[in-house]
Each structure stands twice: as C-alpha cells, then as structure tokens.
Chains A and B, each alone.
Chain A
Amino acid sequence: MSTMSNTIVDLPDQSTATIPKMNFLTKENGLLSWLLTGDHKRIATLYLISITFFFFIGGSLAGLIRLELLTPQTSLMAADTYNKVFTMHGVIMIFFFLVPSVPATLGNFLIPMMIGAKDLALPKINLLSWYLYIAGGLLAIYTMATGGVDTGWTFTTPLSTHYVNTNVLTTGLAVFIAGFSSIFTGLNFIVTIHKMRCPGMTWFRLPLFVWAHYAASILMVLGTPVVAIAIVLVALERTIGIGVFDPTKGGDPLLFQHLFWFYSHPAVYIMILPGMGVISEVISTFSRKRVFGYTAVAFSSVAIAVFGFFVWAHHMFIMGISNYAVLVFSLLTMLVAVPSAIKIFNWTFTLYKGSITFETPMLYAFGFMGLFTIGGMTGVFLGASGTDIHLTETYFIVAHFHFVMVGGMLMAFLSGVHFWWPKMTGRMYPEKISQMAAVITFVGFNLTFFPQFILGVLGMPRRYASYPPEFQVLNVFSTAGATILGVGYLLPVLYLVWSLKYGEIAGNNPWQATGLEWQTQSPPLTENFVVTPIMDHEAYDYEWLERQSQAGKEKEAPIAG
C-alpha cells in the first residue's frame, strides 16, 4: 500500500525491478510477426500507432481551419479549399480516429484480459479489421493528395451526387472500407463477450468497460451497414445516374439523409460509449470505491445503444421532414439523454466519500465529466426542435459536438491510454508533466470551444470561411485556445514515447486496481494467462484486492517476472 496520502501508485523497487523477459512484445521478432499476428495486444498496438498518425493529420487540418478563421475574410485559402479542409477534418477525425480509438486500441487490448480469455474469439478477423482500417486510411490520404472532397463529412445529397467535381467516390470508398473494419471489430467483441468469459465471470461481474464496449459493438454491427448502402447508392448515382436521390428523376435527397443519419447518430454513441467505459474504470480506481449503481450503469449503456437507434432525424429537423416526424424524433431525443445522465450521476456518487487522488487518468476523467455534461446538455437544447431551428448549422452545433467528442471522448481516450499504459508497456509515464499536459488540454479546450457556443447563438454559420467582422474577437480566442490545445496533445506523444525507454518499471498493478488484467504481468504474456483464471469475486471488489495483497505479502510472492 502507498504510504503517501496523495497517490495510490505502488511501484516495485526500481533498483531491482525489471520488465519481464517473456511478454507479448518479445515473444516473436520481425516485421512479419507483427503484420501477420493474431495476438489482440499486438493488433491493438498497431492500431494505437496508426490512430495517432491519423489524429495528427486531422489535427493539422483543424489547425488550418482555425488559422483561416482568425480573420473575417478568406485570407489563407480560397473558400473552396476551406470546404475541403473542414470536410477532410471531419472524415478523418470521425471515421479514422474517434470511431476506432478506444475500441480498437484499448478494447482490443483489454477485453480478452478483462474476461479471462486468451484472445478475442476471431483473431484473424481482428487482423483483417486493422488492414481494412489501413486501406481506408490510405485511400483517405490519397483523396487529400488528389484534390480532396468538399461536401462536408455528411455528403449531403444532391450536392454530393450532382453538384461537386471532387473526390466523393474515393472518400466514400474509404469510409465504406473503414466501416467494415468497424463492423468486424464490433462483431468480434460481441462474440467474445458472449462466448469467451472465464469460469465465474458472469455478466454482472464484468467490468463496466466491457459492458460499454458490448453496447457500442451492437451499434457498430447494426448501424454501419446502413451508411454503407447509402454510400453505395451515392456512388451509383454519381457514376450512372440512377436517380434515387435526384428530384428531377423523382428521387428524394432526404432519403440519403435518413440512411446516412440512421448510422451516424448511433455512431456518436459508438464513439462515446467506450470512453464512458474507460471513465467507469478510472473513477472507481482513483476513488478506491466500487462504481455506484453498477447495474444502472451497465443497463444504461445498453439503453443508450437501443435508444440511439430511434433518434436519427434530429439531425434533419430543418431539412424538410414532416412536422410529425420532427415531433416524434424530438421527444425520443429527450429520452435518449436520460441514460447518459444516469451515468454521470452514478460516477458522481462513486466519487462521494471515495478516497480520491489526482493522478493523470483521474484528471482527464474529471475533465470528461464536466465537459461531457456541458456538451450533453447543449445537446438537449438542440433536441428541442424550436431552439434547433435557430441553432442548427451554426457554431453552436460545432461547439456541442466538440464538447462531447473532444472534451468527452478524446479526454476519455487519453485517460485510458495513461491508465493502461503501465499494463501495455510495463512502464509508468512521467506523472508531473502528464498532469501538466492534462491541465493544458483542459484550458486550451475551453478557450477553443466555449466561445463557439456564443458565436452560434449570435448566429455565426458553420462551414463558412468568412464571417461578419463582429465575430472576430471570439474567433481569435478560439484559435488561441486551439494552439494551446495542440501543445496539450503533442506533449503526451513525446513523453509517452520517452517513457518506453526511461519510464519507471510499473509492475503488475501500480494503481492497485481490481480487474483481471491487473493480476498479470506488465506487459502481459501473449496468452495473457498461464492458467485460465476463475472469477470468484464481484467487480470492483476492493476488499478482495486487500485480502490478495495481504496474502501476497505473507507469501512474499514476486511481483515482476
């Protein structure tokens, strides 16, 4: 146990500790052992590197957007180019960063370990997922290199089918391929969670991280194919002119939006649910307390997934759907906010009377709770169809989704990467600089995106390269914040890479967390467990952990090696 009161970190004696010689990283060597691996942990590592790469491409595009918006006129680039920049920013950030971020990296790495299995159910499909992701990503880069696409990430018809000459088809294909990567990941998770749990691991002993991924996987499997067929139809319309979305041939452009948003709304839950899973784990560990209302949190994950399918047309309130549809979807949107709120309440009650410490993952988790709450509540303003008429297609929407996605999801991702970094690499990241980076990110984020709420209410439209001069001050704040935010995101890349060589040796369980993954060596063996574990205690059972470590002290069992 830690003797210091402000940290729970319990590291082995650094003068004698070593990284275990045999682990999943050292088991085999050579490029092919990585490119043809079936090991879920290696695939997760491959994903982590590729996702970081695409994040920085998307981030650079964001930097260009903010630079352009420093001045009211189009100063840095033509308006057409600006359209291409924000489109690619959206496509890359959504499909090549947010959707796969937590599931494909942390989910892939941890789910088998958390349930006591040796690997995911379908390792080859897992590898295929990664290759599809890379193929889609390369196609997206090719698209940018050959002129980009300027329809916005939403590919709204008939703009995308008839009125642009840009690379709609290649972008559509890139998204289609990435969609299948996502489908296979989700499929793999559902099968694994149902069929590969170790003895004693009942559904209600699963970590909430697993529940969150289960819910997100249902969305991936059921929702993604619909956007796939929407893209196919756009492609057919662009190439042979079949007319399904063409009013001159009797088609309805809104049909595309129905099919597109049928996926893209659940997609936002695909993005946030795994992040919420991370937050459950982190908040529990750093308050040394079982998550309050485990069952409610578990069921609310599934409820978000189910209800998430019923609300898609709230993205279409002003597009021409019937008033009755507006009514129904607005009502259902109010309902879908409830399970998310339940989670926030439960995390708050977990903190109450907990023994709280402020290590970096917890800082990010606090950031998540505050920023996701703001983002979520502004979503309710948008779900009310009356206010939506004023706020839609303005910077209010931009601020709303960046609060939930960047303030929420990205913070959860960073929280998770820091939390499980010792398990994945065997080394601790440097605590002081990482805490500083978390605070820098939080400050930068608020400075970037809070002014955008105000801009939205004042009426600044989104997706415009130029704007009335009275909006400049707020835009300058936003760009200044973006610069700070960029620093905040760059720092982790630097110090995490540094820690691979120079970080302290972490040992099995530096956080003294519950969960089967913490009962193994760091980094783990390829087969995760030498013998299949048997789960004989509840989730987040800190008393059990206490008894184990007492027993361990008595036997003086070695921690590392």
Chain B
Amino acid sequence: MPDSHAIAHNGEETADNAYSADIAHGEHPAYLRHHFNSTEQQADTTNFAMWLFLLTEVMFFGGLFTAYLIYRNWYYPAFVAGSHQLNVIWGTTNTLVLILSSFTMAMGVWCAETRRRRGLVLCLSLTFLLGLAFLGIKTIEYGEKIEKHHVPGFHYSLQSFDDPASDPEIYKEYHDKALMPDMARHTELYFSLYFAMTGMHALHMIIGIAILAFMIVRARAGAYTSGHVTFVENFGLYWHFVDIVWIYLFALLYLISRH
C-alpha cells in the first residue's frame, strides 16, 4: 500500500537531519524507543528536552529573583539586618558541599561515559551523601530561624531588629544599629523571600536526591555503563542547575553586606 508518494529512493541525508536510516527490527538495543531512528537521535532528543525543562526552571526561579531584587532595592537596611541573621559559616559550607557535589556528579557522568561501573556508583553515592549533608545543614539553619521566631507568619519577632544587642553573637560581629520600626517590619519580607527561595531550592534538592537513590540502585546493576548514559547525563544537567541556583542564592541572601 503506497502510503507516501513522497518517498524518493533512498538517499542522501540532508545536512540538518542525520537520523534518516530506518533501523531494521531486531538490530537495535533494547533501550531504543520505536519512534526514534537511532540511539543518537534518542540521546540528542532527550538531552534537548532536559535543557528545555531547565529553561522552565530558570523562569520559575526567575519570578522569585525578581521579587528579591525589587525588595532589596526598596528595603536595603532590612535586608542587611536580615542577612546578618544567617550564619555565613553554614552558608559557605553548604556552598562548598554543593560545588563538591557538582564535581562528583560530573565525575559520575564521566564514569558512565567511560563505562566505569564501580566509579559511577561511587560518584553517585558521594553526590547523594553531599546532597544529604546540604539538607542537614539547611535543617540546622531553619531550626535556628524557628527558635528565634524569624519565620514569617508564625509569631514573627522583631526583637533582633529593634534591639540588636539582644542577639549577642551577631551583635559582636556586626554591631548593627537598631532599625526604625517600619524598616524593622520589612525584615519579615526578607525572611519570606529567604524561606520561599531556599525552600523551593531545597524541594528541588529533595527530588534530586530521591532520583539519585534510584540511580544508585540501577547503576549497581550496570544499567548506565553499557552505552546508555542519557539518564545520568540528563540528571547531571538538573543537578548542576540546582547548584547554580544555590550559587546565586548564597551571594544574594548571605553576603549582602558583612562589613
């Protein structure tokens, strides 16, 4: 049944479409989905799809960064005071943890590409542990905020900002002056954005860690070291993106002005 009059005899592939060969049934690896013509096409396609998904994530966080930039502009003293309430040591440690985890993730992708099964499992496991460490530190930080009643909407307390000396550790470092009452109230906005942005980031970390756990199990079975590396590669892109978001969050939330 002639279903396509457009069929010419087999021919040249055009420059911008190299995937033309129909693969005869039975000659292709099990992981090649049937609507693709080659594993290359499948890998390229899923990679591009992951990049587009990361674009949506950029715009998703973008809204939060927009809000942040506006209010930092408007209420700079409140943002400085709020930033001093964050522990720069925990923040820096978390940044180092995430950067290291990006490194281990990149190494994991390299292991998958070079078919090093044990190396891959090691790298994924390290990434997993570093991710957990990040979340652990975040939990400690959030705990501190809860103790000091710096969580917006839950008995938010202005005491640290009306009377900075009531916070001896921080007062020793920065000798903040007391904020004017209305500016002090705007610290709640700082913490709203802090929790919204780091919370959204942490949610993405949790999802990433869950997928890592799944990947470690599959990696041990050799699923990613027999030529089919796209899952690890694409997850790596996601993980690096989450790292990049944190790089900006750290600079913007923790390092506003510590002098």
Contact = CB atoms under 8 A, between A and B. Distances in A.
Asked if chains A and B are in direct contact (CB within 8 A), the reply is yes
Interface of A: 116-123, 125, 183, 187-188, 190-191, 194-203, 221-226, 228-230, 232-233, 236, 239-244, 249-252, 255, 258-259, 262, 516, 519-521, 525, 527, 529-537, 548, 551-552, 557-558, 561
B237 interface: no
Contact of A191 (B4, B48, B182): B48
Contact of A222 (B12, B55, B61, B71): B55
Contacts of B196: 232-233, 236, 242, 244
Nearest to B22: A532
Contacts of A123: 33, 35
A306 to B, nearest CB: 15
B16 A202 contact: yes
Contact of B4 (A121, A262, A516): A516
Contacts of B22: 531-532
B11 interface: yes
B59 A225 contact: yes
B16 A191 contact: no
Q: How large is the interface on B (under 10, 10 to 19, 20 to 34, 35 or more residues)?
A: 35 or more
Given A243-B189, A249-B186, A516-B4, A228 B152 contact: no
B70 interface: yes
A183 B185 contact: no
21 contacts: A118-B35, A194-B48, A196-B35, A196-B41, A196-B45, A201-B17, A222-B59, A224-B56, A229-B61, A232-B196, A243-B152, A243-B189, A250-B182, A255-B66, A519-B3, A519-B6, A527-B34, A530-B4, A533-B6, A552-B5, A561-B1
**Across the A-B interface, the 9 shortest Cβ-Cβ residue pairs:** A240-B153, A229-B63, A242-B192, A225-B60, A119-B35, A225-B59, A199-B20, A250-B186, A118-B35
B188 A221 contact: no
Given A250-B182, A255-B67, A519-B6, 19 more contacts: A117-B35, A191-B48, A195-B41, A199-B11, A203-B16, A222-B56, A226-B62, A226-B63, A229-B64, A241-B153, A242-B188, A243-B152, A250-B185, A519-B5, A532-B37, A533-B4, A534-B6, A551-B5, A557-B2
Contacts of A558: 1
Contacts of A221: 52, 55-56
B67 A233 contact: yes
Interface string B156-175: 00000000000000000000
Contacts of B19: 195
Contacts of A250: 71, 74-75, 78, 182, 185-186, 188-189
Nearest to B44: A195
A520 B45 contact: no
Nearest to A231: B63
A200 B37 CA distance: 15
A242 B152 contact: yes
Nearest to B70: A255
Contacts of B56: 183, 187, 221-222, 224-225
B81 to A, nearest CB: 13
A539 to B, nearest CB: 12
Nearest to A537: B6
B5 A548 contact: yes
Given A183-B56, A191-B48, A249 B188 contact: yes
A561 B1 CA distance: 7
A191 B7 contact: no
Interface in B36-90: 37, 41, 44-46, 48-49, 52-53, 55-57, 59-64, 66-67, 70-71, 74-75, 78
B3 A529 contact: yes
B57 A225 contact: yes
Given A250-B71, A531-B7, A533-B7, A191 B20 contact: no
A255 B33 CA distance: 45
A249 B78 CA distance: 12
From B6, B16, B20, residue with most partner A Cβ within 10 Å = B6
A251 to B, nearest CB: 6
A536 B189 contact: no
A240 B52 CA distance: 32
B31 interface: no
B8 interface: yes
A530 B45 contact: no
B69 to A, nearest CB: 11
Nearest to A194: B48
Contacts of A240: 152-154
Given A222-B55, A242-B152, A259 B63 contact: yes
Contacts of B200: 232
Nearest to B37: A532
A194 B48 CA distance: 9
A557 B46 CA distance: 39
B238 to A, nearest CB: 14
A242 B49 contact: no
B147 interface: no
Contact of A244 (B33, B57, B61, B67): B67
A534 B196 CA distance: 51
Contacts of B57: 225
A521 B75 contact: no
A534 B75 contact: no
Nearest to B187: A250
Contacts of A251: 71, 189
Contacts of A532: 20, 22, 37
B17 A198 contact: yes
Given A202-B14, A225-B60, A259-B66, A243 B5 contact: no
A227 B37 CA distance: 37
Contacts of A195: 19, 41, 44-45, 48
